[in-house]
Amino acid sequence: MSLELAFELMMMLTSGCALLVSAWLFWRARNRRSMKALAGFGIMMALWCAGHVAVFYGQHGLGMALILANPLMPTFFLDFAIGFVNQGPGQRPWLGRLARYRGLLYAAAVLVSLLTLWQGGGDIIAFGPFEHYFVFRGSGWFNIGYTIFIGVLAHALLLWGFARQRGNRRRSIAAMFAAGAWGLLLATSFIFPSLGLLWYPWPMLLLPSYVLLLVYGVVRYQMLEVNAWANRALLWILMTGLLLGLMVLFSAMAGRLGMQALAAVPQWQLWLYSLLLLMLALALYQPVSKLVERLIYPGSRLDEQLLDTWLAQLRDADGWEALADAAQRLLARQMGQPVTVRLLTRPPLFEPSPGLELWCLHQAHGWQFRLRGFDDVTPGMRLTAEVFGSLLATRCGLLESSLQLAEAERKRVSEQHLVELGGLSAAMAHELRNPLNIISMATAGLEADRKAIIQDQLKRADRLIVDMLAYSGQLQIQPRPLALAPLLESLRPRFDWQQVSFDYCLPDNYHLYADPYRLQQVLTNLIDNALSFLRNHPDGRLRLEGGDTPGVLWLHNNGPAIEADMQAHLFRPFVTRRPGGSGLGLAIVQRIMEAHGGHIRHRHDAGWPVTFELYFPEEPTS
């Protein structure tokens, strides 16, 4: 192979590697502009190498245009450095302003390239094995000087960031400097012919390694996939080198030690020896693989036994709180430091805490995990968190399905029970009202006192029948936007307040999305229930407030507080502390709220002895 062909192949290989890496970076960058700028740097390097290949094939105009466009290469790298350094806490305003005017940097690079091309900033010469080789002339030195200046500026910015960054970002900057030193060493030989030193640019033959080392140094602490790729690549490089080294060793020793018999071995026997060496390499594969894994992922100890342990303990959790506690305990034990695990049905509104956090989010396409605060941990520890997060997300999906099935079965049994109770209640109402009507008519000739006592008991029995029918019947709601203040005013005349004060505090034009009849039923039951305790209470007060969240109402009263043992059973049917009550009022209210998709609960932290919180969902947007 001629030296010119070797140089040409290395330029093609560098161009191909740069294009592939840039395409992968651009695909993985998503919304990370700094990584897109690094992809642009790789594309410009690919075009720069393609310019040399074009010169070799006699396309001098195209080749010179691509080579003289090299100011764009450090400009992309400077754009990357600005975005890379100015991330995380402690962002600098002056870097933000510089980022906003990055378009001027690109415009300047294009202008320098066009001017030097127009002024004829390069020439094509022949020397050594090269028939066509590009050298700088005249204004081309300004081109290369501007390129060097922008490159120095980008690395100075990285040096400034190195002094201020911590953790993985600091490690990435150190890796960039190491790759930059290697690239400078390789590229220096390209300039020698322009200085009159007609030396073959041997270091340029290793230029493909610069692209890979630079990109790997940047993203090894940012993207876990790169480390997995490097793990496999380094493994096969070591294995191939080991095999070749052993073959060379045997060949060299045979000649130098006078092993003529070995030197005269037939060709088929050499193939047999190679096969034996290959088997030896396969035997060394496992220990070498473990060594490489420790180099790439230091501190990582993942095996099948550990994964089985994780799966078993996550599977034992039968609820969301238990699952979060188990996950937090397992991951913290493996990481050797505290880790917060959050299981969320929607993206949180709060800011993440400074420590390590693993979030499992329920999204449209299933459960997904996110890592927060893991930027500064080693790649091995991040790999551990990634694997654990994947297992936890899978377990969240299975637990959700299990709970949904259990809830569906509970609702089915409850609905079946209500159907049976509804039929029984309707039959009982019919059978009871007939004798009650007869008793009511029979009291017509009694004294007034006796008649009043009997009529009160008949009303109580009728109210119990009505409550049973309301609780056991099918609830059909037709929600619509409803102004609350007029409804409250219309309810005032219906109650015997007996010196109990009632007021409400609502935002202007306060609306609820609710069924008017059912909302009236809810308020009537709650107010009537409160009045039964407040009428005998001095300075009784009842107050309705609109909560800070839309659709939330708080109904307060200063009556006697609800006993602790009663609070857990408030909304169960036939449980009451009200004299003469049926025990169905709050149970009916709960059914109505659930039919709306809302809820009711007792609050003891609102500053009043008794507070009920009601929540009505907002009106759907579509």
pLDDT beyond 70 at 78 = yes
Give the Cα separation of 22 and 35 in Å (integer): 9
pLDDT (tens digit, 9 = 90+) per residue, 311-369? 888 888 888 888 889 998 888 888 878 888 888 877 665 566 678 888 888 887 788 88
Higher pLDDT, 556 or 440: 556
* One-letter amino acid for residue 309 of the chain: T
Residue 521, Cβ density class (10 Å: 0-12 exposed, 13-18 middle, ≥19 buried): middle
Give the Cα separation of 47 and 15 in Å (integer): 7
pLDDT, residue 20, reads 83
pLDDT beyond 50 at 379 = yes
> For residue 161, which of 151, 153, 169 has the smallest C-alpha distance?
169
**pLDDT tier, 7 (very low <50, low <70, confident <90, very high otherwise):** confident
Q: What sign does the dihedral 205-206-212-217 (CA atoms) show?
A: negative
Q: What is the arithmetic mean of pLDDT over 602-607?
A: 82
Distances (CA, A) of 574 to 125, 313, 397, 534, 581: 103, 41, 38, 21, 9
Phi, psi of 242 (to 5 degrees): -65, -45
**What's the predicted TM-score (pTM) here?**
0.45
What one-character DSSP code corresponds to residue 204?
A: G
One-character DSSP codes across 24-82: HHHHHHTT-HHHHHHHHHHHHHHHHHHHHHHHHTT-HHHHHHHHTTTTHHHHHHHHHHH
One-character DSSP codes across 323-382: HHHHHHHHHHHHHTS-EEEEEESS--SSPPPSSEEEEEEEETTEEEEEEES-TTS-HHHH
Give the Cα separation of 404 and 401 in Å (integer): 5
**β-bridge pairing 339-344 and 356-363:** parallel
Angle, helices 516-534/585-595, rounded to nearest 10 degrees:
150
pLDDT beyond 80 at 304 = no
pLDDT beyond 60 at 233 = no
Higher pLDDT, 622 or 252: 252
Structure tokens at 374: 């893991």
pLDDT, residue 267, reads 46
pLDDT > 70 in the chain, percent: 75
Task: Walk me through the domains of the chain, giving residue ranges and CATH numbers.
Answer: 3-222 (1.20.1070.10), 231-291 (no CATH), 304-402 (no CATH), 478-615 (3.30.565.10)
Contact 221, 168 (CB under 8 A): yes
pLDDT, residue 159, reads 87
pLDDT beyond 70 at 514 = yes
Higher pLDDT, 554 or 305: 554
Q: What is the arithmetic mean of pLDDT over 32-60?
A: 88
H or E element, residue 411:
helix 379-442
pLDDT (tens digit, 9 = 90+) per residue, 186-229? 888 888 898 888 888 888 888 888 877 777 666 665 554 555 55
Give the Cα separation of 560 and 259 in Å (integer): 107
Average pLDDT, the chain: 78
What one-character DSSP code corresponds to residue 220?
A: T
Q: What is the arithmetic mean of pLDDT over 517-543?
A: 84
Residue 340, Cβ density class (10 Å: 0-12 exposed, 13-18 middle, ≥19 buried): middle
Give the Cα separation of 122 and 65 in Å (integer): 10
